[in-house]
Amino acid sequence: MTATLDTKVSLAGALNRALADALSEDERVLVFGEDVGTLGGVFRVTDGLTDRFGEARVFDTPLAEAGIVGTAIGMAMNGLRPVVEMQFDAFAYPAFEQITSHLAKLRNRTKGHVELPVVIRVPYGGGIGGVEHHCDSSEVYYTHTAGLRVVTPATPADAYTLLREAIDCPDPVVFLEPKRRYWEKGTIDPTLRSPGLDRSVVRLEGSDVTLISYGGALGTTLEAAEAAADEGYQAEVVDLRSLAPFDLDTVAASVRRTGRAVVVHEASRFCGYGAEIAAQLSETCFHYLEAPVLRVGGFDIPYPAPNLERHHLPDVDRILDAIDRLQWDDSAPLADGEA
């Protein structure tokens, strides 16, 4: 792959370029997982890497997710920088004990003497016509675990820079890749670095309401912001990028300017990531808010069949409906069950 500053690549292609550049620049970097070698990954993110760097550095593993992460922990303890792939979001659950009990805690357990620079790539979220086990939004399982960094890119440029920075990070990073955005294209600049692995960014400036989103839902949120402008609302859109740690400074600064906020994500609303954002904004921005923080998310159900997922995932109309309910005047009360 030969991306240049002027060449558009897909988000999957940007990840491939980031892995290739990291493998080229640091011989400690290894890439492994189920079908990442000869096949190049189910979504072709690792396409061609085995041919280029050899089977000693990019290789297939057995279908044993706990073993994959356990092996990565051992490698990292001995000075390597493993990047492993969980083939689909829910496939990572067998590795959960290794991730939460060991990967997240070893640095603290050793008083900082043992660093674990492990990146766990997880294709996540819906929008591809998959079924359960293949479309989970599993972010809160990881964000609730202290000791893990959790990031998710929404654009090809961010996919490249965030993955490079995740590989360079001395801490374990769960790298959530929105499957529905794998084929969207944009330009990347391999010479640039992002505002930081733990920083959010304002993707669109506005003055009336802050829309907060990340990963696969960001594109839908930007579409909704454009539609909201036609209805007279100037929406500011914040792309979280980093879910753990949460960049409260950037989000709160936006909400203090606009006075209203809607959080948009694919995951179920109940105990979803938006609940934490709403709580933190209520605690820190209470006197600036003109209305309660609203959430637009997936329904509280197991992931539906492909022919029904369009109803489950947040869309432009549901986001616009939430904006309309932000108490713009005394005659716009909240609907039951929305907060």
pLDDT tens, residue by residue, 289-308: 999 999 999 999 999 999 99
Contact predicate 207/257, CB 8 Å: yes
Q: What percent of the chain has pLDDT over 90?
A: 89
Q: CATH classification of 8-188, choosing from 3.30.465.10, 3.40.640.10, 3.20.10.10, 3.40.50.970?
A: 3.40.50.970
C-alpha distance from residue 333 to each of 66, 223, 228, 289, 312 (Å) = 49, 25, 19, 15, 24
* Domain span(s) for CATH 3.40.50.970 in the chain: 8-188
Q: CATH classification of 201-325, choosing from 3.20.20.210, 3.90.1150.10, 3.40.50.920, 3.90.226.10?
A: 3.40.50.920
Q: Point out the catalytic residue in the list 102, 113, 133, 134.
A: 134
* Domain span(s) for CATH 3.40.50.920 in the chain: 201-325
Is position 134 annotated as part of the catalytic site?
A: yes
Question: Is a pLDDT exceeding 50 seen at residue 339?
Answer: no
Question: Is a pLDDT exceeding 80 seen at residue 115?
Answer: yes
Confidence of residue 330 (pLDDT cuts 50, 70, 90): low
Residue 93 pLDDT: 94
The mean per-residue pLDDT over the stretch 220-231 comes to 97
Question: Is a pLDDT exceeding 80 seen at residue 220?
Answer: yes
Identify the DSSP state of 329: S
330 or 331: which leads in pLDDT? 330
Rounded-to-integer distance, Cα 142 and Cα 243, Å = 9
pTM of the model: 0.94
**Nearest C-alpha neighbor of 118 from the set 88, 161, 74:** 74
Identify the DSSP state of 288: G
Residue 162 pLDDT: 97
Confidence of residue 336 (pLDDT cuts 50, 70, 90): very low
- Residue 23's SS3 state is helix
Contact predicate 152/215, CB 8 Å: yes
